[in-house]
Structure 1
Amino acid sequence: MSNAKKMLKELITSNLYTRYSNILSLSDIPLFLIDINGDILFEFIPSPNFCTRICQENVDQVCHDYKCRLNADSDNRFVCKYGLENILLPIIVNDETIGYLAGLQVYLKENEYKRYMIDIQSFNEDKFSKLEHVAKSISSLKTVESNKIKVHEQLCGQITKDISIDLSQRVNNSYSDVERLSIEKEILEKKIIDLEAKNMSLVVNPHFLFNTLNCIARIAYFENSHTTEELIYCLSDLLRYNLRQEYQLHTIGAEIDNIEKYLYIQKVRFKNRLEYEIDVPESLKFYRIPNMVIQPILENAIIHGITPKRDGGKIRICAQKNGNEIIISIIDNGNGFSKDVLQKIQHSENKSGLGFKSTDKRLKQQYGNQYGLKIVKSDYSGSTVAIIIPTKPIER
């Protein structure tokens, strides 16, 4: 299948990580997508440094232990020469393997002793300037129990099966991908219109939703699931804030409090792959701003800037007064927006414009065309998006 790699790359650009984010949140064990030549096309969960910097000759290709098993009739599970457990699940379309889902790269508890048998001195010092870096990368390798590996294998098997079916449907034209996306888009747009109009089911009885969330949170407390309890309370506060419609404008301070809850939820999800800093002077927190204008910009920074990076990154939110304007900046050190994403952000007039266009429109309607959103910078060193509003008198 000559266009196999192209098919996989098209799959990656169709929000591949977002599609499986809920499943992937159940595991923190490495998982990545490769083609039949061993080129790493996409990382769902990054590989350990030992594998990427020590074992792999090329950072964009899998190691020799993987390569020798590609296009071969071998088991889906194997142990590499350093004792690490690995999986290699074929993605099959029309009885032909076009790629693989691979990963694990962890020790079973009973095999953990093999890490101490690795001869550090055997590594070429010309390639590794300090052998203590090799030792450190070995010590950071994970050891997990067999039942956790089984769960991860089941998740990977489900993702592999889903990808194979998706690609088979595209190849066979049994269900036009364009038609499917068009139907999904139409359904989502109708739902968004309904939610924007009246917040439908939530407005009918919001107390029911919040009481239910609080009930679940109390159950989590009694089961000693304190992180889950805190996440539920944060979600409840986020929803409550989004439903507050008695005022057109909220204070910047209230918006920042809401953003801190959103970032807390994302921090639990991404762990040490996400760092953030908020620097908003107290003197600016009493100015008013439409609610939920920072969150969609922040979400774009996480999805398009931080998520694709192997080691994650940092987001900074800061604000300053510049003459008769207040400038709130959302800064990330990610990979920057791709050309396709930038085009959608800057030119899309529909509600799929990544939340950017609609947010910019809200600000312009409120304050005038000279205000709104501005992409200050977007390149491989990161992105900066500014929210510009006037210093209007505080409403009492």
Structure 2
Amino acid sequence: MDKTNETLKNLLDANLYSRYSGLLSLSNISLQLIDTNGQILLEFNPSPDFCKFICQEDETRICSDYNSRLEPGKKLRFNCRYGLANILLPVEINNQTIGYVVGAQVYSTDSEYQKYLIDINELAKEKELAPEFIAKSIAAIRTIEENKIEIHEQICNHITQNISYDFSQSINTADKAIARLSIEKEMLEKKIIDLEAKNMSLLINPHFLFNTLNSIARIAYFEKSHTTEELIYCLSDLLRYNLKQDDELHTIGAEIDNIEKYLYIQKIRFKNRLEYEIDIADNIKPYRIPNMIIQPVVENALIHGITPKRDGGKIKITAEKYKNDINISVMDNGNGFPKEVLQSLQDSENKLGIGFRSTDNRLKRYFGENYGLKIAKSDYSGSTVTISIPTKPNARR
């Protein structure tokens, strides 16, 4: 492996996403961190399905349009072969490029017409995908006003500079955490003021909420209240993830990261009455699933399985790949679902089953009738709920 890319991977940490959640709430346009070979290391905001499944040869790597433009130290804004606006910004340490922040992947109002020039049938034949899937992916690509793209570019610039500072401090400074928090606070406050002045249409409530939570987390850090700090970061991430109502496909890894934060908060609440285990292989995490699919299932296991037991219990989440399918299992050793809850899942008039039915319907809408949600087991020894999805998007047809 390239020494530069190894350096970048070693510098990544679990809180990198959390530190920018306040700023990311200003924009839900694609934003990712990649290494110098085009490997996607972290998705701050996911790319559109069109880019992920059609333009990229591998879901873990950026497309060839980006790859051909990777040059050390070079900042770039360009339109890809299909007319989407893209941003490319180098992450540098000591004048050496160790990675890039990339993003946008949207149409501007001037380039939107190019989506109608894409030959869907030819592309379907080339990529061996269903034409209906490609048509839906193209239709889902967002069109953004030019000033909004410019604001997103400024956000990308700020995050790139701050990541560069983060990593350089990690290498050169023993007291990296306090220095990073100080410079981030100053730069973030200045940038937020600039962005608000340029575009008053930005939503202030989520921005205010996440920024306030992160400020409280910093206070907790300096007061050495590390559990409080971690709880606040987890809550901030949970709120932000739950607000993503774009109904796009997210990675299983992103879903599991969200679940870990949810269970961490619940563990603080229930203490010894709740144990949990997540066993998801790395090769499964890049596959895509509709957002907020797993969390309601885990929440049901906690409410109906663990909470009623005096001594609590354990929730375990596993996943396995078999041929062209992936099965995700949420297991608990509670008392099983109450009879009325099980009955409600087949009763369309009973509101108790709406959550499970809507989750099942979402999966079927994306992937077809062969996929969805199933209660594999529910008795006094516990419950097991399985979520089945295909490994390839065209398996839905």
Q: TM-score, normalised by structure 1?
A: 0.54
1:93–1:168: 8 Å Cα contact kept in structure 2? yes
State whether structure 2 residue 101 is matched by structure 1 residue 122: no
Specify whether residues 41 and 183 from structure 1 end up closer, same or farther in structure 2 by C-alpha distance, changes over 3 A only.
closer
Give the counterpart of 1:374 among 314, 337, 348.
Answer: 314
Change (3 A) 1:6 1:149: same
Superimposed CA distance per residue, residues 5-44 of structure 1 (whole angstroms, 9 cap, x where no aligned partner): 2232234333221111111111110011111111111111
Partner of 2:270: 293
Q: Secondary structure at the match of 2:306?
A: strand
Q: 1:299 to 1:165 in 2, by over 3 A?
A: farther
Partner of 2:5: 5
Pair 163,373 (structure 1): closer, same or farther in 2 beyond 3 Å:
farther
Mapped partners of 2:14, 2:243: distance in 1? 21
How much does 1:165 deviate? Answer: 1.0
Q: Is 2:101–2:160's contact at 8 Å kept on the other side of the alignment?
A: yes
Deviation at residue 60 of structure 1 after TM alignment: 1.6
Give the equivalent residue in structure 1 for 2:291: 312
| Equivalent residue number for residue 107 of structure 1 | 107
Name the SS for the 1:132 alignment partner.
helix
Aligned to 2:164: 164
Cα distance in 2 between the residues matched to 1:151 and 1:83? 19
Give the letter for the 1:312 counterpart: N
Gaps of 5+ in 1: 186-223, 236-260, 277-288, 330-362, 390-396
Among residues 213, 232, 243, which one is paired with 1:269 in the alignment? 243
SS at 1:313's partner residue? Answer: coil
Q: How does 1:193-232 map to 2 (within 5 A)?
A: 228=205
Which sits farther off after the overlay, 42-51 or 3-12? 3-12
1:54 Cα deviation after fit: 1.0
For residues 240 and 2 of structure 2, the distance between their equivalents in structure 1, rounded to whole angstroms, comes to 39
Query: Do the aligned partners of residues 130 and 383 (structure 1) sit closer, same or farther apart at CA in structure 2, a change above 3 Å counting?
Result: closer
1:327 aligns with 2:298: no
CA shift at 1:117, angstroms?
A: 1.3
Paired residue secondary structure (2:27):
coil
Match of 2:261 in 1: none
Deviation string for 1:335-367 (max 9, x for gaps)? Answer: xxxxxxxxxxxxxxxxxxxxxxxxxxxx9xxx7
State the alpha-carbon separation in 2 of the partners of residues 45 and 225 from structure 1: 17
Deviations 1:193-245 (A, max 9, x none): xxxxxxxxxxxxxxxxxxxxxxxxxxxxxxx999959x98xx9xxxxxxxxxx
Q: 1:33–1:227: structure 2 CA closer, same or farther, 3 Å change rule?
A: closer
CA distance 1:107–1:382, shift in 2 (3 Å): same
Q: For residue 141 of structure 2, give the secondary structure of its aligned residue in structure 1.
A: coil
SS of the aligned residue for 1:106 comes to strand
* Offset of residue 143 of structure 1: 0.1
Secondary structure of the residue that 2:244 maps to in structure 1? helix
Q: What CA distance in whole angstroms lies between the structure 1 residues aligned with 2:124 and 2:178?
A: 54
Q: Alpha-carbon deviation of 1:150?
A: 1.3
1: CA distance, partners of 2:23 / 2:202:
20
**Corresponding position of 1:135:** 135
**Distance of aligned partners of 1:298 and 1:45 in 2 relative to their CA distance in 1, 3 Å threshold:** farther
8 Å contact kept, 2:317–2:331: yes
What amino acid maps onto 1:293 in structure 2? F
Inter-CA distance 183–34: structure 2 relative to 1 (3 Å threshold) = closer
Find the aligned partners of 1:184 and 1:162 in 2 and give their Cα distance: 8
Greater RCO structure (CA 8 Å; 6+ sep): 2
- What is the rounded CA distance, in whole Å, between the counterparts of 1:321 and 1:383 in structure 2? 17
What aligned pairs does 1:385-396 form with structure 2 within 5 A after superposition? none
How far apart in 1 are the matches of 2:73 and 2:238?
45
Please give the residue correspondences for 1:346-365 in structure 2 after superposition, counting only pairs within 5 Å.
Answer: none
In structure 1, what is the Cα distance between the partners aligned to 2:114 and 2:128? 21
Aligned to 1:52: 52
Cα distance in 1 between the residues matched to 2:312 and 2:109: 55
**Alignment check: 8 A CA contact 2:277 2:317 kept:** no
Distance 1:169 1:59 in 2: 31
Q: Secondary structure at the match of 1:13?
A: coil
Contact 1:83–1:111 (Cα < 8 Å) also in 2: yes
CA distance in 1, matches of 2:176, 2:72: 34
Aligned mates of 1:105, 1:262 — CA distance in 2: 26
The equivalent residue for 2:89 is 89
1:130 to partner: Cα distance: 1.9
Match of 1:149 in 2: 149
SS in 1 for 2:69: coil
SS of the equivalent of 1:89 reads: strand
Q: Which amino acid aligns with 2:99?
A: G
Residue 141 of structure 1: how far off its partner (Å): 0.8
Aligned 8 A contact 1:35 1:99 in 2: yes
Q: Which residue of 1 aligns with 2:79?
A: 79
* Deviations 1:76-126 (CA, angstroms, capped at 9, x unpaired): 201111111000000011111110000100011111111111122332516
Size of the aligned set, in residue pairs, is 261
RMSD between aligned residues = 4.8
SS of residue in 2 equivalent to 1:99: strand
